[in-house]
Structure 1
């Protein structure tokens, strides 16, 4: 799995998940439960992950939608 981006914006995260799903790319959101434990005040960003095989295509989908992509 590779990280596409980190965000505290749950609306944006949901939109990006839907955008990638429409492109046939499965996603996984990490740190969701950690954020809930901290009281859901939005301090800890959630990470949007995709498989290694889908990573480059997912980057292109997000770039075409005008989103910045995490660069390790």
Structure 2
């Protein structure tokens, strides 16, 4: 498993989860509970992990989606 994103922003997390689901990329969320417990001081970011063989594809899909948002 490789980290494709670290964030404390729940909106960003939700957006990336949606993109990965629509692309049929299996992912795991780590530290989601810890991020909420720590009082939102950004000390513990939530992480999205994907299988190593999907890492490049996941990053590419996320990057393309970010570029579309900038248009």
TM-score range (shorter-chain normalised) is: 0.7 to 0.9
TM superposition score normalised by structure 1? 0.80
Residue 58 of structure 1 corresponds to 58
- 5+ residue gaps in structure 1? 68-72
Q: CA RMSD in A?
A: 1.5
How many residues get paired?
66
1:31-50 matches, within 5 Å, as 31-39=31-39, 41-43=40-42, 44-50=44-50
TM superposition score normalised by structure 2? 0.81
Shift, 1:19, TM fit? 0.5
Shift, 1:37, TM fit? 2.6
Judging by fraction of residues, say which structure has more helix.
2
Contact (CA 8 Å) 2:4, 2:59: kept in 1 or not? yes
- 5+ residue gaps in structure 2? none
